[in-house]
Amino acid sequence: MTVDSATVQRRVVPARLVQDYGVYAAVAVLLLFNAAFTDNFMQLDNLRTQLVQVAPVVIVALGMALVIGTEGVDLSVGSVMALAAAVIPLYLGFGFWPAVLMALLAGAAAGLLNGSLVAFVGLQPIVATLALLVAGRGLALVVAGGQLKQIHNAELLGLGDDDVAGVPYLVLIAAVLAIIVGFVVHRTTYGRQLVAIGGNRSAAQLAGLPVKRVLIITYVVSGVLAALAGVLATARLTASDPSAIGNLFELSAITAVVVGGTPLSGGRVRVLGTVAGALLMQLLRATMIKHNLSDSTAQMTQAVIIIVAVYLARERRTR
């Protein structure tokens, strides 16, 4: 029974609009609200603080968006952050760059493991990365000897504190990465293949796309970005604390991606939306705190937003 697909297209246009632009509108509304009702919110200092706080989430979420675009998920990102944080002090003796490089390599190795489990062993992404969510932090604690280590390396501390023409390094790095990931998704063979694989795996396979290679690269990218976020978090904290760094980051990242309009069913990656999604959650929480609402109220509000976002994304897959 073949129904002409043109006749089945009955998408509700407003829902589509809300899904595509809702997150930007929500960010704008929050900013306007704060400009009007919150004292000192729209001041440069406060905005800078908000951006610095959201930067690590954005970086992790960019990798997560790629993974989710392949119809997968990477639960290990928080633990990979901790792992990177634990690796840094081990190599700081060799200098700033070797330490950062080793941390990123640890992230790449974690991603390679995740990707191999998904692409070659055929495990479901949620299971494959769950293993490292559990084991990664354990490993990080072993590597760090279970201790918090103060950081004294000036370059690393500067990474968390300094700025270029008033723009903090953290924000700059997150912004540049967002632009790069956006370019990769929309303009490179890898990016387009990633979206195609997420959209229809068997069609991609029949079209001869390198499905396994793309999957592995994607998890490696996610691992490296998570490790970078771990390095930055360490710099901000001025200490390597593998038991605290990256805790629950996987959830913040997934939230940012989903709220940004990337469907969990894959086939679509919204980079700018992901950035806006992270920003929205950050602003929401800040707003509530400034108005003396409890943290739990903020969490519940976030939950409602996630459900709304998922509900809207659902529309896209009723074909």
Partner 1 sequence: MTVLEIRDVSKRFPGVLALDQVSLSVEAGEVHALVGENGAGKSTLIKVLTGVYQADSGEIRYQGEPVAFGRPLDAQLAGISTIYQEVNLVPLMSVARNLFLGREPRNRLGLIDVRRMNREATATLRRFGITLDVARSLRSIGLGAQQMVALARAVAIDAKVLIMDEPTSSLEPREVATLFQVVRDLSAQGIAIIYVSHRLDELYALCQNVTVLRDGRVVHSGPLEGLGRLPLISHMLGRDLAEVRREGLTSFSDTHGTVDSEPLLQAEGLTKRHLLHDISFAVRPGEVTGLGGLLGSGRSETAKAVIGALPLDGGSVTIGGKRLRHLSPKVAIRHGMAMLPEDRKAEGIIPDLSVRENIVLAAMPRLARAGVVTRGQQDRIVDTFMKRLRIKASSPEQRVSELSGGNQQKVLLARWLCLNPRLLLLDEPTRGIDVGAKAEVQSLIDELARDGLAVVLISSDLEELVEGADRVVVLRAGTVVGELTGDDVSEQSIMKALATGDSK
Q: State the residues that interact with partner 1 by CB under 8 A.
A: 1-9, 187-190, 192-193, 195-196, 199-200, 202-210, 267-268, 316, 319
Question: Closest separation between CB of residue 1 and partner 1, Å?
Answer: 5
Question: Closest separation between CB of residue 21 and partner 1, Å?
Answer: 17
Alpha carbon distance 259, 316 (integer Å):
14
State both tokens at 26: 């929500």
Nearer to partner 1, 72 or 168 (CB): 72
Question: Closest separation between CB of residue 224 and partner 1, Å?
Answer: 17
Nearer to partner 1, 14 or 208 (CB): 208
Find tokens 């959650």 and name the residue: 281
State both tokens at 69: 């675009």
Nearer to partner 1, 69 or 246 (CB): 69
Question: What is the CB neighbour count within 10 angstroms for residue 300?
Answer: 13
State both tokens at 310: 């998922």
Residue 3 exposed, middle or buried by CB count within 10 Å (0-12, 13-18, 19+): exposed
Find tokens 């509530």 and name the residue: 288
For residue 215, give the 3-state DSSP assignment: helix
Question: Closest separation between CB of residue 107 and partner 1, Å?
Answer: 22
Nearest to 58 by CA among 226, 263, 286, 239: 226
Question: Closest separation between CB of residue 176 and partner 1, Å?
Answer: 18
Q: Which residue type occupies 154?
A: A
Nearer to partner 1, 123 or 210 (CB): 210
Question: Closest separation between CB of residue 212 and partner 1, Å?
Answer: 10
Nearer to partner 1, 136 or 266 (CB): 266
Task: Check residue 64 and give left, alpha or beta (phi > 0: left; psi -120 to 50: alpha).
Answer: alpha
Nearer to partner 1, 193 or 287 (CB): 193
Give the pairing type, strands 163-164 and 167-168: antiparallel
Find tokens 């003396």 and name the residue: 292
